[in-house]
Structure 1
């Protein structure tokens, strides 16, 4: 049964301006310039004040006061003709260009960096082998199945079926294995291996003979699992070698490249630079903050669109098509104004939030000592600046700050608190720093276990559990004691 009823609900919805501001807040400075260029391309009512191709007339800002609804209604009743603004009588640019060129004209070309990819380098080495056309096709297929690290992670029997169905080449696992051995002879050494053990063996067998290399080859063949787990006592007992001989063999293994394919990728990899969003300076004990706005253009409303609205308002004749055109212009101008206001509000929010963080962690920004970092969470900064926690989170996300001690991700300054035996609250970042220093200073032949690290921290007044020490160690990307052992 259908019924009708009247019901009131209290809802909270974000306006388009608020959504725009939230999206701009989480964009770092390096991506903000591209976002502004995109908005300029999509909205003709928005322009860059420094662009010489834009209008050179001085901008006259629109009045901030809202128009009178009665006046707006009277203007809608008037008729107006703005065909001069709607008709496009300009001659197309392609009709003003000619193909006249001279041999004496100066031609400037932009140089492009070119290089050879990892797979192309391997395919080029096929030409140095005595292979027929069929073998070259199979070897090329094998190279195409290598991953970025240079490993072959596919089963040879599955590749036999793929060659039969996709390239109509009938082959066998034995033939694929023979051609794979050919590929494994290519540079860099270790290419074409099916696992880490095979990769290390390929590299060791291509080295000059020495007792250490021979022993390293024997250990990788017979005791690979013990090597990966660093069970050196078992190896010396089973292989009947001295600790010095084992140390020389392990040093030869450590010189090998476990990912030979990456050696080619690293040489052609593009450098990635970090553009800081904030700059913190120490001026004789006084901290100064600067928000990075170096690549942010100065935005303004298009003078042409503003003049069209003013002319339309002063005119007495208006048709329906002209009203639709003016509504489009109003929409674009409103969108441009919202975007300009959002950019200004973004800069202000960033400055206020970073100022609060800088003052909260003043001791650290003055000295650079990580042990002086105070425990700080998003709620602490949100209460100081009077913003929502989600807004502070967007500001801290993907933003970098340049200090006299280096450039850091802003969210690394946030950490939880922990209470010492004396009742003092310290940052977990301070505990991680002490933990890292202890592991760095340990004896590599007898690394400290998590239990020993827990005892050391307790002696320093940090009463934390062993599982917490293990968690902090994993967050610092430090392996367990057994894997840190060195001969």
Structure 2
């Protein structure tokens, strides 16, 4: 049976302006240009001064109280008749907030694109080698199908039976499994060595068999890969010495030969093209012991509300007679003007939030930014910064997760400055970054023939005054992508 009743609920809702600001806040500098171009394409009332030649002098943006630049989700725009045209008749020169930051953050050298050598891709290289072979049309189609079925790392993980089905359905080529196998062996003879392998073992064997077959080390390396690959990967060198009746010196030569091989041949041609360009959002300079924080000038785009749309709205608003079409036109122009204004204000608020958050981080970790020593990093969590700047933890998280700062000691992700606290025997709290640094130093200096186990590392830290459990040492080691002691063992 249906019943009607009244309920009172308290819900939190975000205004469109607040949602827009949140999305812009988490966008890093490297992606901000793309986001601005998207907005410029969608909203004709928004203009980019850097792309527009202005024939008339720019008016100065009026001085405004920074507190007036925040959004109020409950703010009512009021009916269209109460809309104030004066809000849009001023020329919104971005210099009000664009020049208060360092405009030299990006010089001409930084604006230049990184040159990348033009070269053929991995698949194009294989196809070029296939084109040089005197093959029948059927074999060429099979070879082309095999190349197209390879993964990016150069492995063929699709079964031979599936390849024959693909040839029959997609190219109308009837081939049996033996013909595909024969062409696969041809592909496996291509460069880079190991391409077309169906497993790691086959990949390593292809590369070893292309070396000098009379070399004793190569023969023993082939024997290890064929019969003892599991023991080799687990570094059970004692078992290998007994099973193959080899000395430690001979085994060291075999192991070194295998380690020279490329387990992912397909990635070899792609390494040079996979360049990640990191554009820092902030710059910190040390001026005689005083840290100076500047915001990347790319975060201050020269945006303004279109003057033509302002004049258009003024013309429509002053019309004596307003029919239905004219009212729709007024509503459309008003919507675009509102959207442009909100976007400019969101960009401005984004800059203020970025600077406010980064300044709090810089003040908190002042000693680190002066010296660059990880041991000077203080324990710091998101709540510490949120309390200092009077913002929500989620806001600090959005800033820290995707922004970079350039210092004299390198470029760092802001998230890397946040760490948990470890208490020493003296009661002092230090950052777990300091503990990780000590672990890294001891592991780097260890005897690789007898690497330090987690228990031994725990004892070393306790002797140094760090009260830490073995499971915590294992957790930190895994976070630094350092394998267990057995896998760090070398001959």
The gaps in structure 2 that reach 5 residues or longer are: 69-74, 85-114
- Please tell me whether the aligned partners of residues 284 and 407 of structure 2 are also in contact (alpha carbons under 8 angstroms): yes
Give, in angstroms, the shift of residue 17 of structure 1.
Answer: 1.0
Instruction: Work out the CA distance in 1 between the residues paired with 2:196 and 2:409.
Output: 44
Instruction: Work out the CA distance in 1 between the residues paired with 2:463 and 2:350.
Output: 47
Instruction: Work out the CA distance in 1 between the residues paired with 2:78 and 2:20.
Output: 27
Q: Residue 126 and residue 312 in structure 1: after superposition, are their counterparts in 2 closer, same or farther (change >3 A)?
A: closer
Give, in angstroms, the shift of residue 6 of structure 1.
Answer: 4.9
Give, in angstroms, the shift of residue 5 of structure 1.
Answer: 4.8
Q: For residues 423-465 of structure 1, give each alpha carbon's deviation from its aligned partner in whole angstroms, at most 9, with x where no partner exists.
A: 1111111111111111001011111111111111111112222
Provide the secondary structure at the position in 1 that maps to 2:384: helix
- 1:78 match: none
Q: Residue 463 and residue 310 in structure 1: after superposition, are their counterparts in 2 closer, same or farther (change >3 A)?
A: same
Higher relative contact order, chain-length normalized (CA < 8 Å, sep 6+): 1
- Please tell me whether the aligned partners of residues 57 and 303 of structure 1 are also in contact (alpha carbons under 8 angstroms): no
The reply on whether 1:464 has 2:464 as its aligned counterpart is: no
Instruction: Work out the CA distance in 1 between the residues paired with 2:428 and 2:132.
Output: 70
Q: TM-score, normalised by structure 2?
A: 0.85
The within-5 A match list for 1:343-358 is 343-358=347-362
- 2:222 match: 217
Instruction: Work out the CA distance in 1 between the residues paired with 2:448 and 2:51.
Output: 61
Provide the secondary structure at the position in 2 that maps to 1:392: helix
Give, in angstroms, the shift of residue 379 of structure 1.
Answer: 0.5
- Please tell me whether the aligned partners of residues 48 and 54 of structure 1 are also in contact (alpha carbons under 8 angstroms): no
Provide the secondary structure at the position in 1 that maps to 2:174: coil
Instruction: Work out the CA distance in 2 between the residues paired with 1:155 and 1:137.
Output: 17
- 2:237 match: 232
The reply on whether 1:381 has 2:385 as its aligned counterpart is: yes
Q: For residues 245-289 of structure 1, give each alpha carbon's deviation from its aligned partner in whole angstroms, at most 9, with x where no partner exists.
A: 11111111111111111112224x153211000111111111110
Give, in angstroms, the shift of residue 140 of structure 1.
Answer: 1.7
- Please tell me whether the aligned partners of residues 277 and 292 of structure 1 are also in contact (alpha carbons under 8 angstroms): yes
Q: For residues 215-260 of structure 1, give each alpha carbon's deviation from its aligned partner in whole angstroms, at most 9, with x where no partner exists.
A: 2122212221111111111111110111111111111111111111
Provide the secondary structure at the position in 1 that maps to 2:481: coil
The gaps in structure 1 that reach 5 residues or longer are: 76-110
- 36-45 vs 7-16, which moves further: 7-16
Provide the secondary structure at the position in 1 that maps to 2:298: coil
- 1:430 match: 434
Instruction: Work out the CA distance in 2 between the residues paired with 1:409 and 1:433.
Output: 17
Instruction: Work out the CA distance in 2 between the residues paired with 1:253 and 1:383.
Output: 54
Q: TM-score, normalised by structure 1?
A: 0.86
Instruction: Work out the CA distance in 1 between the residues paired with 2:290 and 2:337.
Output: 43
Instruction: Work out the CA distance in 2 between the residues paired with 1:166 and 1:353.
Output: 56
The within-5 A match list for 1:25-64 is 25-53=25-53, 56=56, 58=58
Give, in angstroms, the shift of residue 142 of structure 1.
Answer: 1.6
In our comparison, the structure showing a higher alpha carbon Rg is: 1
- Count of residue correspondences: 452
The within-5 A match list for 1:437-452 is 437-452=441-456
Instruction: Work out the CA distance in 2 between the residues paired with 1:421 and 1:112.
Output: 53
- Please tell me whether the aligned partners of residues 32 and 296 of structure 1 are also in contact (alpha carbons under 8 angstroms): no
